[in-house]
Amino acid sequence: MKRLVPLLMTLAWAGAVAAQPGMVLQPGGELAIDGTSTVRDFTCKAQGVTARLTPGEGGGALVLEQLAGAVREGVLEVPAGRLDCANGTMNEHMYNALRTRQHPTIRFQMSGYEVGAVKDGQVPLHIHGELTLAGVTKPIDLDVRATQTPEGGLRVRGRYTLRMPDWGVRPPTLMLGTLKVGESVVIRFDFALQRQ
């Protein structure tokens, strides 16, 4: 499940854009996974996210009105073993569920996107790609909102609901079955991008 978080961070097209030459991801960004269980809800945060981005015809512009064609493709990777749920026992069970030893990287490969109209200072992006989690690759679509930052950069925010069994991940069970993690988790991401 820890691996799932980075992947969903996959859901982090924003993170991929951040790694583009000439662009940097600003401090304070976040990729988190929110889940439920029979005992309590939990949040796991991803660390060590990396990305590669290929500029498109738009040259990777960080201007809302010029986002169409700015990026041709992007890859975001998260070390599955760097997902932190602020609980050592929960972390270990998630690592086991995600089979991090066999599949140490969660990967999102962006293949394309559509840009909506700018409205009220933000623009919707519909991103297409493939998410690889626990060794299984499946297509996903992400809905993202982009806004301009005061520094002239770009802030991207979004969320994606991921059903773990669809990627062959069995939700963790702890305390002899007393605590059972729900099958679906929500991946949240919020990144700010700035030209270097």
The pLDDT assigned to 13 comes to: 43
pLDDT: is 151 or 44 the higher one? 44
The pLDDT assigned to 160 comes to: 97
CA-based angle 22:24:27, to the nearest 5?
165
Q: How many CA atoms lie within 13 A of 121 on its CB side?
A: 7
- At residue 154 the predicted structure's pLDDT band, cuts being 50, 70 and 90, is confident
The answer on pLDDT for 50 being more than 70 is: yes
pTM of the model: 0.80
Percentage of residues in the chain having pLDDT higher than 90:
49
End-to-end CA distance of the chain: 33
The domain 4-195 is classified under which CATH number: 2.40.110.10, 1.10.10.10, 3.40.1190.20, 2.40.128.110? 2.40.128.110
Residue entry with tokens 């270990």: 92
The pLDDT assigned to 58 comes to: 65
- At residue 11 the predicted structure's pLDDT band, cuts being 50, 70 and 90, is very low
Mean pLDDT, residues 168-192 taken together: 85
Q: Which of 173, 172, 174, 162 is nearest to 136 (CA)?
A: 162
| Model confidence pLDDT, tens digit, residues 84-131 | 999 898 899 899 999 999 999 999 999 999 999 999 999 999 999 999
- Max mean pLDDT among 40-49, 57-66, 132-141, 185-194 falls in 132-141
What is d(CA 29, CA 15) in angstroms, rounded to the nearest whole number? 9
What region, left, alpha or beta, does residue 103 occupy, with left being phi > 0 and alpha being psi -120 to 50 degrees? beta
What is d(CA 13, CA 114) in angstroms, rounded to the nearest whole number? 13
DSSP 93: H
| Model confidence pLDDT, tens digit, residues 75-95 | 888 899 999 999 898 899 899
- At residue 36 the predicted structure's pLDDT band, cuts being 50, 70 and 90, is very high
The pLDDT assigned to 69 comes to: 81
